[in-house]
Chains A and B, each alone.
Chain A
Amino acid sequence: MSRRVVEINGRRLSLANLEKDLYPSYGFTKARILEYYRRIAPYMLPHLQGRALTLKRYPDGVAKEFFFEKRCPSHRPEWVKTAQVAINGAEPIFACVAEDLETLLWAENLASLELHVPLARAATPDRPDAMVFDLDPGEPAGVPESAKVALILRDLLSRMGLESMGKTSGKKGLHVYVPLNRTEATFEQTKTFSRAVAGILQRHYPDLVTANMAKEERRSKVFINWSQNDAKKTMICVYSLRAEERPSVSFPFTWDELEDAVRLADPALLKVLHDEAVRRAEERGDRFRDVLSRAQILPHL
């Protein structure tokens, strides 16, 4: 077993199993995963700031079992920041908060390939920064159908005076975010609003869209999961790797890129792997940053 001690910002971190291949059918070792997160960190960290992290750990690679950890492991170094989160009035737990490179790499050393975060910050757990539409295609529907729904959604929201931004899920789905960034916003509001929007889309595009969670209703349609607008739920963080066969990334797209993908009928345009993610981020910066700053009000509530 290889072990390497690195020092980041004056903090020592012991990295283990660096040569372990966590994406065996593609070939992507833990060393390369750490390298990916190191390079993507400047763009990703602002989106992790102040948020209770849920770690999805794959100690034996993407093909093997994983752990879903909301509780920050108790063997954490002292400098790993935590936040107390109380879910549904239960005993509060301590969750990790990754606000610096060393914490991010510490989490990755635990093989936390996927990093999931709530829509609200830990200090204000009932106040979402954004409203989200999680577009989840049911087989045989896939990325093209999701892209069509995302474009309709963008147009509808825009008529309602709301700007939206999108990212891929890193799997087959797409995530459309409506930044709010206002202390008055509540999950009750975002849920009411997103549910009404999903209902309208289902009514107008019954063959393409469903707002119903039942599995059988979701076949060959795009399920608009509005229920993600909830203090208890988490979303895959933008720039996180996914535990797919290949190291794909949940990556922001521009609406032009999405229109191109639909026009050219080329869903591959929306599949962003690790190297492409780093290249694009370094070239164009964080395309998702407005999600953290643009302030908007949900109308008619």
Chain B
Amino acid sequence: MGATIWKGAIRFNGIDVPVKLHTAVSEERIQFHLLHRSDKARLRQQMICALEKEPVPPEEQARGFEVEEGKYLIVEPGEIDSLTPESSRVIEVQEFVKSSRIDPFYLDHVYYLEPDSANVLSKRYGLVVKALQDLGAVGICTWSMRKRSHFGALQATGTTLRLWTLRYADEILPAASLGLKEAVLSEKELSIGSELIAKMSGPFVPAKYADEHEKKLRDLIERKARGEKIEIRPPRERQATQEDKLLEALEASLKKAA
């Protein structure tokens, strides 16, 4: 179990449930640094003035909102701070909705909730889990955390509560705006395609898929450290299936899967 990253209370209609948030996902990957090609010195990131081509210290930096090319409204740091929501430590449930699943495009971050046992009210945790499951509902909540306002979903899985942050609706691009055109397909192509999918279907076993790339990358670094020469292999691209060969490719695929 990871460290607590935030503490607060779930609240609905005056009922408080004190909880602690834990991250549900932790990814560790190989970190690289950016180096100067000539002397391998590690580079620092700085803000450079386009006019003077010199680094500009933070106290000489201002924030501007571009209203027109090259024209800015200057926004003082205090002005933005005053709009930043204060952390209230309350995750307010606005409503409950009957939902087995939320559209995955809305799901952003997920936290596991642990009852904050320092507070006696946390005994309600288990009851809320049960009540949510009995009702088959999730709670839609709003709160502010770390200077940002969030919108999210409170969900019960098994014996645990999860809190999702959700993306705002206007942040999601509808598929319709991609301007795709539907191609004409024959029933034969569709039925062979469907059969092929059925043949290639199985249960989702996440443990089957490991990040092999990361292992290979560690291996590569070790070999380079030993001074070994690395053989360069060009990327291999599949030849696109031609439109008039689609049926043929589907039939051959089906034969192969059989």
Q: Measuring CB to CB, which residues of chain A are less than 8 angstroms from any residue of chain B?
A: 56, 66-68, 74-76, 78-82, 94, 233-234
Contacts and interface: CB of A to CB of B under 8 A. Distances in A.
A48 B64 CA distance: 30
Contact of A78 (B67, B69, B174): B174
Interface residues of B, number: 11
B66 A78 contact: no
25 contacts: A56-B68, A66-B68, A67-B67, A68-B66, A68-B67, A68-B68, A68-B69, A74-B170, A74-B171, A75-B170, A76-B177, A78-B174, A78-B176, A78-B177, A79-B176, A79-B177, A80-B177, A81-B177, A81-B179, A82-B173, A82-B177, A94-B173, A94-B177, A233-B69, A234-B69
Interface string B161-186: 00000000011011011010000000
Contacts of A67: 67
Contacts, number: 25
Contacts of A82: 173, 177
A130 B153 CA distance: 51
Contacts of A78: 174, 176-177
A81 B171 CA distance: 16
Contacts of B177: 76, 78-82, 94
Nearest to A65: B67
Listed from nearest, the 9 A-B pairs whose CB atoms lie closest are A74-B170, A78-B176, A68-B68, A81-B179, A82-B177, A78-B174, A68-B67, A78-B177, A81-B177
Given A81-B177, A233-B69, 11 more contacts: A68-B66, A74-B170, A74-B171, A76-B177, A78-B176, A79-B176, A79-B177, A81-B179, A82-B173, A82-B177, A234-B69
Contacts of B174: 78
Contacts of A56: 68
